[in-house]
Amino acid sequence: MRLLVTRPQPDADETAARLEALGHTAIVEPLTTIAFRPQPHFETAPAAIAFTSSNGVRAAAKWPATAAWRGLPVFAVGAKTGAEARQAGFTDVRIAGGDLTGLVETIVEGFQPDTGRLMHVAGHDRSGDLEGELRAQGFDVATLEAYAAVSADAFGQETRDAISSGAVDGALFFSRRSAAIFADLIAEAGLEESAKKLAFYSISETAGEPLRRFGVVQIAAHPDAAGLIALIGR
């Protein structure tokens, strides 16, 4: 299959390589670009850190203060984020099941509220409210916006031509934000009818919601890249 990969770099190239190893052709079309923010001011040093994305880890790894935190308990939303945290030098990484609910459960089981502040390193655009859910259970949580995902303002010419001509079979979506951007760009380009011919693969129900105007959206059984790629060809 000829598949559109919409996630930002460097993850887009990694996903494309996995698809091509399975015999597919990947068109890499990141619909967001990650812009990292400088180290913020910390009123209170954290007693633990929660990461809900690999980009959060990449952002924090650039901060000078992080050198003193690498031995703290780190709670990662899923396996990829956990692997990124270990690669960044964090030594006590606890990995949740891949979604916000699982992350909350992992934190509640592995961290006591009276231990100190938990720092949630996040992007500007977030799905769910980790801080709110944990505060409701008595935790002291501070959310730091460590990066922003800047939207693409148009498709690249190769992608536009491929969608228009039917030369692309499907598209993969790892976030609701990318799916919403895709839907907007399709409308702006007048490609709605062409989009209805595509197969859509989404990492979650929430992420896939903006695509339902074009037809059926297949949802990964597990919210990670492996679960998403496993959908293809079914």
Q: Determine whether 122 is exposed, middle or buried from the number of CB atoms within 10 Å of its CB (0-12, 13-18, 19+).
A: buried
pLDDT in tens, 101-159: 999 999 999 999 999 999 999 999 888 899 999 999 999 999 999 999 999 999 999 99
Helix (H, G, I), strand (E, B) or coil at 8: coil
**What three-state secondary structure class fits 56?**
helix
Contact 76, 186 (CB under 8 A): no
Determine the CATH number of domain 34-149: 3.40.50.10090
Q: What number is the average pLDDT over the span 153-166? A: 96
Name the CA radius of gyration of the chain, rounded.
Answer: 19
Q: For the chain, what are the domain ranges?
A: 2-31+152-231, 34-149
Tell me the two tokens of residue 40: 């913020």
As a whole number of angstroms, the distance between CA 126 and CA 20 comes to 30
Region 84-96: mean pLDDT is: 98
- Helix intervals (H) in the chain: 11-21, 54-61, 79-87, 100-110, 130-135, 157-165, 176-189, 192-195, 205-208, 225-231
Asked if the domains 2-31+152-231 and 34-149 are classified in one and the same CATH topology, the answer is yes
Q: What is the pLDDT of residues 100-114, one digit of tens each?
A: 999 999 999 999 999
The pLDDT of residue 233: 65
Residues 199, 170 contacting (CB under 8 angstroms): yes
101 vs 14, 108, 110, CA distance in Å? 26, 11, 14
Q: Is 79 left (phi over 0), alpha (psi -120 to 50) or beta?
A: alpha
DSSP structure class, residue 38: P
Kindly state the greatest CA–CA separation across the chain. Answer: 59
Class of domain 2-31+152-231: alpha beta
This prediction has a pTM of: 0.85
